[in-house]
Structure formats: structure tokens, C-alpha cells
């Protein structure tokens, strides 16, 4: 006999519950035949909640026993449930891995044999642009985290808003092979201030902070990632002047 489950999820013209769809897919992956019950109005959803004394939907039932929503289903099947507040390097890995592959692809398509120096230059410039985008998408949230450790932003709060634009400007300027005095100067400035600030906060003051390098509200711990970002800008700035 096939395993059976019941699922109650919100599905109206205005809203389709994403966790309802995830719960449905999870149950099917686990080999269950699902008796799907879409709740097609707010009134129907509220009536279901009152009937079963629950606060949210979706709700899954297996063998007549209520399991709960998507998170409870994952626990029921022994699957890990990520902690939203846990520190993670996933955003940084995603950015650096993607920009690295982009720079390699560009180098392969433009040079034969493979040009390592040019690839490294493009990788750093693309990474700076990608990190700037993460900051620019919500400058207010970025500034709230940034001013807690950047020495210049602590003194002049508006610098937190300028920083993201300077990083984007430097990254784009490097891609355009702009003059060093125009492009490398802001990279050297914000990178140097950043290196000193992160080193002081993490390695001298021993403070445990969240890094604003991938934008505000991130769970990336402040440390070698932000230090690497700033060192890349300093190194690239020096290289452009030398070149």
C-alpha cells in the first residue's frame, strides 16, 4: 500500500503559499500520495486554523496525525533545518565562486594561452562590483552594520553611504582600464581604512560582529572575509599604479 498524507495549504488568486508548495513536493519525494486540500480564500483558511487550533498554514497530516508546517515536516523526515540566525559564509562563497568563473571564462575567450595576471585583475574588479551591488541594494541596512566597526564611518556616518558607491566606481573603473589616479585612488583609500578598521575590531578589540561586506542584515561573521575584500582593493590599487 502506498503511503498517504493530507496537506492543507493556502492557494488563492492573490496568494499561493510557497511553503505549501515545498511541503507538497517534500511529501511526494518521500513517497507519499498526497490528498491536497487548497484553501481558496482567506475565510476558508481562517476557518481551518480555528478548527485545528493552529496559527499558520500549510499543515500536513500523516496517518491522521498532524505533523505541522514545512519546517516540522523536514524534522519529521530527519532532514536538517537551517538556523536563520546562524553565521554563514554562503553569500561570500557564491559571489567569489561566480566572479572567479566569470573571470576565467572571459580570459579563456580572449587569450591563448591563458593569461593568469589579467584573469586575477578581472576577478578582483568583478568581485568589487558584485560586493558593491550587495551593499547598494539596501544602503540603510548596510550602514547600520558598517558603522559598528569602520573607524571613519563611526566618526562620519555618511561615509557608510559613500563607501558602496566608491567601491562600485573603482571596480567598474578597473574593468574599463581607467587611469590609476582616478580609479586606484578611491580603492586604496577605502581599502586601507577598511583593513585598519577590521583588524582593530576583530584582532585587537576581539569584538564579535557581523560583516557588512555582502550588505546589511547578513550573517557573515566579521573577520578574514572583510579583511580579504579590503586587501584586494589595496593590492589592486597598488598594482594599477605600478602598471
* pLDDT tens sequence across 14-29: 889 999 999 999 999 9
Average pLDDT over residues 95-120: 91
The structural domains of the chain, with segments of one domain joined by +, span: 3-76, 90-242
Please tell me the predicted confidence (pLDDT) of residue 1: 54
Please tell me the predicted confidence (pLDDT) of residue 182: 93
Average pLDDT over residues 124-135: 94
Higher pLDDT, 224 or 136: 136
Please tell me the predicted confidence (pLDDT) of residue 19: 94
Whole-number Cα distances in Å, 169 to 13, 51, 116, 118, 161: 44, 57, 24, 19, 13
Q: Kindly report the pTM of this predicted structure.
A: 0.81
Nearby residues of 120 by Cβ (< 8 Å), 6 or more positions away: 103
Please tell me the predicted confidence (pLDDT) of residue 83: 73
Phi, psi of 64 (to 5 degrees): 80, -5
Please tell me the predicted confidence (pLDDT) of residue 126: 96
Q: Extract long-range pairs of 75-79: CB within 8 Å, 24+ residues apart.
A: 77/26, 77/30
Task: Please check whether residue 50 is in contact with residue 60, taking contact to mean a CB–CB distance below 8 angstroms.
Answer: no
Please tell me the predicted confidence (pLDDT) of residue 88: 81
Give the residue carrying C-alpha cell 555618511.
Answer: 158
Q: Taking Cα atoms as reference points, which of 172, 163, 96 lies closest to residue 135? A: 163
Burial class from Cβ neighbours inside 10 Å (0-12, 13-18, 19+) for residue 10 reads buried
Least confident of 1-5, 14-18, 211-215, 228-232: 1-5
Least confident of 28-37, 51-60, 77-86, 125-134: 77-86
**157-209 confidence digits (pLDDT tens):** 999 999 999 999 999 999 999 999 999 999 999 999 999 999 999 999 998 88
**What mean pLDDT is reported for the chain?**
91
User: Which fold, 3-76?
Assistant: Glutaredoxin (3.40.30)
Please tell me the predicted confidence (pLDDT) of residue 171: 95
Average pLDDT over residues 95-107: 94
Amino acid at each position: 500500500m502506498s503511503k498517504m498524507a493530507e496537506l492543507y495549504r493556502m492557494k488563492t488568486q492573490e496568494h499561493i503559499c510557497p511553503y505549501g508548495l515545498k511541503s507538497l513536493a517534500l511529501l511526494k519525494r518521500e513517497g507519499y500520495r498526497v490528498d491536497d486540500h487548497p484553501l481558496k480564500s482567506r475565510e476558508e483558511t481562517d476557518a481551518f486554523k480555528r478548527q485545528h487550533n493552529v496559527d499558520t498554514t500549510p499543515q500536513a497530516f500523516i496517518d491522521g496525525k498532524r505533523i505541522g508546517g514545512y519546517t516540522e515536516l523536514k524534522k519529521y523526515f530527519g532532514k536538517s533545518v537551517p538556523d536563520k540566525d546562524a553565521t554563514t559564509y554562503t553569500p561570500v562563497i557564491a559571489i567569489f565562486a561566480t566572479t572567479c568563473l566569470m573571470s576565467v571564462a572571459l580570459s579563456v575567450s580572449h587569450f591563448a594561452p591563458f593569461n593568469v595576471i589579467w584573469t586575477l585583475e578581472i576577478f578582483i574588479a568583478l568581485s568589487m562590483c558584485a560586493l558593491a551591488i550587495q551593499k547598494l541594494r539596501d544602503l540603510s541596512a548596510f550602514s547600520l552594520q558598517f558603522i559598528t566597526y569602520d573607524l571613519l564611518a563611526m566618526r562620519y556616518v555618511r561615509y557608510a553611504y559613500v563607501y558602496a558607491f566608491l567601491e562600485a566606481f573603482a571596480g567598474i573603473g578597473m574593468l574599463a582600464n581607467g587611469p590609476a589616479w582616478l580609479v586606484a585612488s578611491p580603492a586604496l583609500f577605502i581599502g586601507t581604512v577598511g583593513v585598519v578598521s577590521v583588524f582593530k575590531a576583530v584582532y585587537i578589540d576581539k569584538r564579535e560582529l557581523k560583516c557588512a561586506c555582502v550588505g546589511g542584515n547578513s550573517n557573515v561573521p566579521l573577520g578574514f572575509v572583510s579583511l580579504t575584500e579590503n586587501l584586494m582593493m589595496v593590492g589592486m590599487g597598488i598594482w594599477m599604479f605600478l602598471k
